[in-house]
Structure 1
Amino acid sequence: MQTQTHELRFTTTEVRKRFLRWSDGEADREWRCLNLIWEHAPGVAPRPLRRETESGHPVVIMERLPGDPLGDKPLTREQTGSLGQTLRRLYRIPLEHINSAGISERPYGPSTLPQALSGWLSKTNDFSRCQNPKQVAVGVETALEWLSRPDALPSPRLVGLGISDLNPANIVWDGQTCRLVDFEDGGLTDPAYELADHVEHIAGRLTGVFNPASLSEAVGLSEVERERMRAYQPLWAAFWLVMLLPGNSGFLRNAPGTTEAQASHLMKLIG
């Protein structure tokens, strides 16, 4: 899994985002999402300013937002409320405008991730570098068995725009308002699927940044949508188990025992 897709340069008023390649379309997704949001939900994300090419690389220049990225502490009530309102505004951008902007399903969206995960989990893995190889192996087997169930996941829905990557570092807080940055993986999605992704993101879950119940309430999910969110959480827990396996970048970036803890968390969600 590639961990670096871009380089950032800042001025007092602008952020210059230089992408390392054209092939995966990150620059196009970012530009289209930012323009759509600026037209239909201004203030949710940076205002797009211009596009350039630098040394053969695509560049997106956007306004620099006030405030600082959120860290590794649980959100306050005010932050949760503001983030919920910001996400709600994002999800309410009309579907016809998303389609007319040429924005397709997000990478690893609800129609593609389950099959991809089954393939990743089915690969022959060497768990010997884990602290408890048996526990990790059981976690992988449990995930594969769960994914094979016909009733494990809701039917995919593509009804709104999502940011995809809600690493807490992609939420800028100015003391009153949460705004979102990094839409290179943005695209069509299901709000319940997005929130499951967000609360299971390893960068936020291990430090308790998001409270799943509080965030889903702040976004305004219905009870049916909350059930869909809970159904999708094991999917994203399995995704992070894959990322934490030996040979993937998350294994080296996290403390020993994190993979075992993730396997345990996944099995608890599956029940």
Structure 2
Amino acid sequence: MTLGRCTHDLDIQDDVVVKRYTSWGRGEPGREWAALTLLAEHAPDLAPVPIQAELEAKPPVIVMSRLPGHILRGQHATDEQIAALATALNRLHQIPAHAVESIAPAPWGPAAAVHKTRAWADKQPDLGDDPLVQEAFRAGAAWLASTTPDELMVNPLPPVLGLADGNRANYLWSSGEGRVQLIDWEDSGRNDRAFELGEVCEHISRLDGILDADQLLPHIYLAPAEATRVRDFRRLIALGWFLQLGPNGPATPHNPAGTLHVQAERVLQLLG
């Protein structure tokens, strides 16, 4: 989950990108370098190629290859782009579990999302007087008080390498090659596949352009139990954004007027 924070400066050159971190308290440079190195071995061409790292420098610096294309955020994704995104996610999630185990856990995952979303709900945030918004809050609070969120914190399946950030600005479409590649691995780590898919489906960036999750998920193989977990993670993540969109909420400055009402509709749709 991201709230518009900027942790780096980019120097985009002809063939390479030089990334200088402006903050690194959560180990962002090490996370990104570890992920890019693992991807270069197990899923080449899915992400930038790692070229050089100065992880102990101040500021830390990573040099990586420059990828062609443009981000999927802010546009109406075509059927071809949605299929290519699914192909990229499937490939990412097929990296062997023994390799993924060498990567540190992602800072944003099921337990963090459950605890933070419940904490936001417990604060009774000011969400205004819109009746639909109030209905969504009551339905969401009741769901958060159930046992389902607790069950989501136990992953019955092997972990995957994940971005831990569903921002659609992290997905780069190359029309010439007909593929999607993934960028910005600074929040990445070992994570729950169902959670990662929930993040892709329900990150608030879905409102900046159109990339329909219900078109994406049929391209991704999910066992019935995993499909249920994806549905519940979608509920959790949609609620997390909803609870931050009140008049003084931390997500409000980064989103256009009316986003809270639209997100209330989404929450009620997912909980229905």
Secondary structure of 2:90 counterpart? helix
The answer to whether 1:63 aligns with 2:60 is no
Alignment of 1:127-146 (within 5 A): 127=127, 130=128, 132-133=129-130, 135-146=132-143
Unaligned runs of 5+ in 1: none
User: Partners in 1 of 2:154 and 2:207 — Cα distance?
Assistant: 24
Counterpart-to-counterpart distance in 2, 1:267 and 1:8: 39
Please state how far the C-alpha of 1:43 moved relative to its aligned partner: 0.8
Aligned to 1:188: 190
What RMSD, in angstroms, separates the aligned Cα atoms of the two structures? 2.2
Go from structure 1 to structure 2 and tell me whether the alpha carbon gap of 1:146 and 1:220 turns closer, same or farther (over 3 Å shift): same
Aligned to 1:156: 154
2:171 alignment counterpart: 171
If the length of structure 1 is used for normalisation, what is the TM-score? 0.88
Asked if the contact 1:14–1:61 (Cα under 8 Å) also holds between the matched residues in 2, the reply is yes
Instruction: Give 1:136 shift.
Output: 3.5
TM-score normalised by structure 2 residue count: 0.88
CA distance in structure 1 between the aligned counterparts of 2:207 and 2:224, rounded to whole angstroms: 22
Query: Percent same amino acid at aligned positions?
Result: 33
Contact 1:165/1:182, CA 8 A, preserved across alignment: no
How far the C-alpha of 1:99 sits from its partner, in A, is 1.6
Deviation string 1:67-105 (CA, Å, 9 cap, x unpaired) is 2222423322221222111111110111111222xx222
Q: Partner of 1:229: helix, strand, or coil?
A: helix
String of CA shifts for 1:113-163, please: whole Å, max 9, x gaps. 111211122125334xx4x35543443343222111013554532521111
The 1:123/1:223 distance shift into structure 2, 3 A limit, reads: same
**1:153-187 Cα deviation digits (max 9, x unpaired):** 54532521111223222111111111000111111
**How far did residue 26 of structure 1 move?**
1.1
Residues in 1 aligned to 2:99 and 2:55: alpha-carbon distance in whole angstroms: 27
What is the aligned partner in structure 2 of residue 241 from structure 1? 242
Match of 2:111 in 1: 111
Q: Which residue of 2 aligns with 1:253?
A: 254
Mapping for residues 255-270 of structure 1, pairs under 5 Å:
255-270=256-271
| Residues in 1 aligned to 2:261 and 2:118: alpha-carbon distance in whole angstroms | 19
Distance in structure 2 (CA, Å) of the matches to 1:216 and 1:189? 18
Unaligned runs of 5+ in 2: none
Q: CA deviation at 1:205?
A: 4.1
CA distance 1:250–1:151, change in 2 (3 Å)? closer
Helix, strand or coil at the partner of 1:112: helix
Q: For residues 231 and 206 of structure 2, what CA distance do their matches in structure 1 show?
A: 17
Q: Any runs of at least 4 consecutive aligned residues in structure 1 with deviations exceeding 4 A, and if so which? A: none
When residues 242 and 15 of structure 1 are mapped into structure 2, their CA distance, relative to the original with a 3 A threshold, is farther
Question: What residue is the counterpart of 2:80 in the other structure?
Answer: 78
CA contact (8 A) 2:4 2:254 kept: no
